[in-house]
A and B are shown apart, each in its own frame.
Chain A
Amino acid sequence: MNNTKDILRFTTAGSVDDGKSTLIGRLLFDSKQITQDQLEIVQRISERKGMKEIDLSLFTDGLKDERAQGITIDVAYRYFQTEKRKFIIADTPGHLQYTRNMVTGASTANAALILIDARKGVIEQTKRHSFIASLLHIQHLIVCVNKMDLVSYDQSQFEQIVASFRDFAAKLDIVDVQFIPVSALNGDNVVDRSQHMSWYQGSTLLHTLENLSVANDINQIDLRFPIQHAIRVDDEQLKDYRAYAGQIASGIIRVGDEVLVLPSQMQSKVTSIQGMSGQVTEACAPQSVSIELSDELDIARGDMFVKPMNQAESMAQFSAMLCWMSAKPFVPAKKYVIRHTTREAKMMIKSIQYVYDLNALKRMEGVGELKMNDIARVDVQLSSPIFVDSFRKNKATGSFIVIDEQSNETVAAGMIF
C-alpha cells in the first residue's frame, strides 16, 4: 500500500471578480498542464474578445452559457498532476445563491483555497466561504491574497489582511491555515516565486499544495464497514460462497477479527478479505473489498460491520446541521428519505433550532422555514436507526443526504455533531 504518489482534493471559492478562474488557469498554465491545442483555442477566443493577452480564466470556465455570461455557474472538476501528487480541483462559484455548490465542492475536499482581493480584504463572502469550509470540517485552509500587483505588492496590506482573517477565523473550527500573497494575472507565487515580494519567505501555492500533509484526514482507528450488497456464488469451483461487498468507510479490518453486525448485533469472525488484486490479510479505508464471515448470518445492504469494543451509535433521533439545497422550501409535515452510508430510512424534521445567518455569522432563532442555501440546526426523527459517529470524528458516518420521495431530488446535506 505504500507508494509515493497520492491524491489531494481541494476546493476553490471566490467571487466572480476575485480572479479565481484566472488563478486556476495560471496554476495549470505555469505547471505546464495546458496543451498546445487548448492554448490555441483560448488564444483565439481571447483575441475575439479583443484582449491583448490570453485570458487564463478560459481554461477553466466550461459551459456555454457561463462563457457568454463570464461567470461560473456550477461545480466543475479539474485535474492536474506533478511528480508528487495528483490533484482534483472542485471549482465552485462564490455567489450567495450558490452555497449549495460550495457545500458540494467542499464535501469531498481535503483542503480549501480561499481567495481574497488584496484591495478589498476580508469581506462577507470570505467569511461565508471559510465558515462553510469549517462546517464541512475541511482541515486545511489556504488563503490566497490575490491581485497583489494592484496594491504595489505592499507587505503591510498583506499583513493587515492576514491579521483580520486570523481574528475572524479564531471562532471557526479549522486546524491549519496558510496565507500566500499572489498575483494570478502575473503569476507571482503561484507556481514560480515572485520577483516582487522578497519580503515573503513562505511557499508558493503549488509547493504548498504538493506538501500539505493529509495523512490524518482519514480515520484509520474506528472500523466502519457499510455493506453495499452481498456477493453469492454457488458453482462448480466455489461452493456456497457468500461475501459482503463495500468500501471501508474508516478503520482497518484483518482476517481473524471479531466483528459485530449492526443492526442485528450478531457477532462473527472475518475469514477472508477479497481485495482488488486478490485475497489480503488486512485492508483499510477507503479500500473497496468483499468480506467473508465464519457464520452464516442474515446480512443485507445498509448493515454495518464494526468492532465489538468500538461501535457506532445507533440513533433514530438526533439534531444535525442541514444545508437546504432545493428550490422547493422545506415542508414541516412532510416525510423525507434520509440516506446515510448505504442505509435509508424515512425522516421527519421535527423542529428548526436556528437558521445560520451567513452574512452576520449569527444564529437566527424562531425561523419556521428552510429555503435554498439556508444552513440550519434541526431536530430529526427517523423511522429506523442509523449507525452514526460525530461528523468531526468520522465524515463518512457523520454525514447524510435528504431526498424528496415525490420529486426524487436530493434536497439537503446533513452533518451530525
Chain B
Amino acid sequence: MHRSDYETMEGTERMKYRLDYLQELEAEAVYVIREVFAQFQHPCILFSGGKDSIVLTHLAAKAFAPGPLPFALLHIDTGHNFQETLDFRDALAERMNVRLVVGYVSDSIARQTVTEESGPNANRNRAQSITLLESMEYHGFDAAMGGGRRDEEKARAKERFFSHRDAFGQWDPKNQGPEIWNLYNGRKNEGEQFRVFPISNWTELDVWEYIRQEQIPLPSLYFSHVRNCVKRKGSILADSPYLIPHPQDEKVELNVRFRTIGDMTISGALESSASTVAEIIAELKEMNQSERGGRADDFRSESSMEDRKKEGYF
C-alpha cells in the first residue's frame, strides 16, 4: 500500500477513518488498561458490582483478548451489600475465569482498625477506605483500577487517569503530578500505590450507550422490580436489616430500580418502570437529576466526596 493513499482520498472516503465517540472512548480506556499492565508489578481491578466496574472489567478482557484477563478482581465487602450484587460478582468471576479477592469490612472491625459508626445515618462507606488499603497491602497490589468517572462528582473532575496515593493511601488534590498527552507516569516509591481510572472521560450516558452496544449483562438491581422500600427525607432506600429505623420512615412497596449501586444503606432507588437498557437510556435522557443525587454518602457536606478521597476512598 502506497503511503499517500489517504492523501488521495475524497473527504467522504476519509470519514471511514474517523472513530465515533464510543470507539474513541473504548480505544483510550484499553490503552490506559494496557499501560497499567505494563507499568505495575501487581495491579488489580477494584470491583464494586456496579455498572462502571463491570464495563471496566469488560474493557480489560478486550485489552488482552484472545489471552486471559491478567488482573484479579478486588471487592470490598462492607457486609451491607445487596445479595444480587454478590451473586452477580461470583457469577461474573466464574464466567470470565478471573481470580476474585474479597476484603471484608467486618475483618477490619474485628481487628479494631475500623470503628463502626453509630446513629441513625450510620453506614460503612468511610470504613471501606481502610479495608481497601488493608486488602491492597495484604495481597501486595500496587495499583487498583476503578470505574470512577470525572463527570460523577466535582471532586472527581480533577482526578488524573493515574492517581498517586502515598504510603497511607492518601490523595493530595493540590499536589497531583501533571498528566500530559497520553504519557502516563506510574513511577512510585516502595509502599506507595496508584489508583487508575481508565473510563475517566466517560459520562453516565456513555456507559449506558456502551452497555447497549456491547450487550453487557448487569445485576437485576438496575432494572425495574418490585421491592419493599423505606421513604426517608425525600429519598427511597431499600428496606433491609442494616437500615437503622427513623421515626418518620415510611415503609412502602414500590416499583423501583437503582441508578448507582453501593451499600443497601446509602443507595437511593428511583421509581421507574424501565426494564431494558434501551428504556433506561430513554429515561436517563429525560431525567432531571444527577447520577449521585440519590447517594446519601455524598450529602453529608458539600465536599464529602473530596474529604473521603483524601483518606483513600476511591
Contacts and interface: CB of A to CB of B under 8 A. Distances in A.
Contacts of A405: 187
Interface string B16-37: 1111110111111011001101
B235 to A, nearest CB: 11
B201 A79 contact: yes
Interface in B1-20: 1, 3-7, 11, 14-20
A104 B180 contact: yes
A38 B290 contact: yes
Contacts of A104: 178-180
B99 interface: no
B21 A245 contact: no
B181 interface: yes
B227 to A, nearest CB: 23
A215 interface: yes
Contacts of B203: 79, 81, 86
A351 B60 CA distance: 43
B189 interface: yes
A123 to B, nearest CB: 25
Contacts, number: 198
Given A36-B288, A64-B303, A220-B14, A276 B178 contact: no
Interface stretch (B62-70, B137-145, B238-246): B62-70
A299 to B, nearest CB: 14
Given A36-B288, A78-B157, A215-B14, A409 B177 contact: yes
Contacts of A231: 64, 66-67
Contacts of B19: 1, 6, 286-287
A3 B25 CA distance: 14
A288 B63 contact: yes
A286 B28 contact: yes
A403 to B, nearest CB: 6
Interface string A1-19: 1111111000000000000
A303 to B, nearest CB: 13
Contacts of A220: 6, 14, 17
A101 interface: yes
A222 B3 contact: yes
B89 interface: no
Contacts of B181: 107-108, 395-396, 399, 401, 413
Contacts of A301: 38
A284 interface: yes
A163 interface: no
Contacts of B23: 1, 3, 276, 287
Interface in A393-417: 395-396, 399-401, 403, 405, 408-410, 413
B17 A1 contact: yes
Which of the listed residues A228, A238, A274 has the most CB atoms from chain B within 10 Å of its own CB? A228
Interface string A218-253: 101110000011011100011001000111000110
Contact of B66 (A85, A233, A246): A233
Contact of B31 (A74, A86, A221, A288): A288
B152 to A, nearest CB: 10
A77 B290 contact: no
B38 A1 contact: no
A346 interface: no
Contacts of B200: 77
From B5, B178, B290, B306, name the one whose CB has the most chain A CB atoms within 10 angstroms.
B178
B37 A229 contact: yes
A239 B225 CA distance: 46
Interface in A262-293: 274, 276, 284, 286-288, 290
Interface residues of B, number: 68
Chain A contact residues: helix, strand, loop or mixed: mixed
A63 interface: yes
Contacts of B177: 409-410
B66 A247 contact: no
Contacts of B38: 228-229, 301, 342
A307 B34 contact: no
B173 interface: yes
A349 interface: no
B157 A36 contact: no
A228 B28 CA distance: 13
A309 B1 CA distance: 10
Contacts of A400: 183
Contacts of B157: 62, 76-78
A5 B26 contact: no
A409 B192 CA distance: 13
Contacts of B151: 78-79
A79 B180 contact: no
A3 B68 CA distance: 31
B289 A252 contact: no
A88 interface: yes
Interface in B143-198: 150-151, 154-155, 157-158, 173-174, 176-183, 185, 187-189
A77 B185 contact: no
Contacts of A245: 34, 63-64
Contacts of A75: 158
A408 B187 CA distance: 5
Given A228-B35, A232-B67, A276-B23, 19 more contacts: A5-B20, A7-B21, A63-B158, A64-B307, A77-B158, A79-B150, A101-B178, A221-B3, A229-B34, A252-B6, A257-B1, A288-B28, A309-B3, A342-B38, A399-B180, A400-B183, A405-B187, A409-B177, A410-B179
15 contacts: A1-B17, A2-B18, A3-B23, A5-B20, A35-B288, A100-B178, A215-B11, A233-B66, A233-B67, A257-B1, A286-B19, A325-B178, A401-B185, A409-B177, A410-B177
Which 6 A-B pairs rank lowest in CB-CB distance, beginning with the nearest? A3-B20, A408-B187, A288-B30, A64-B303, A62-B154, A247-B31
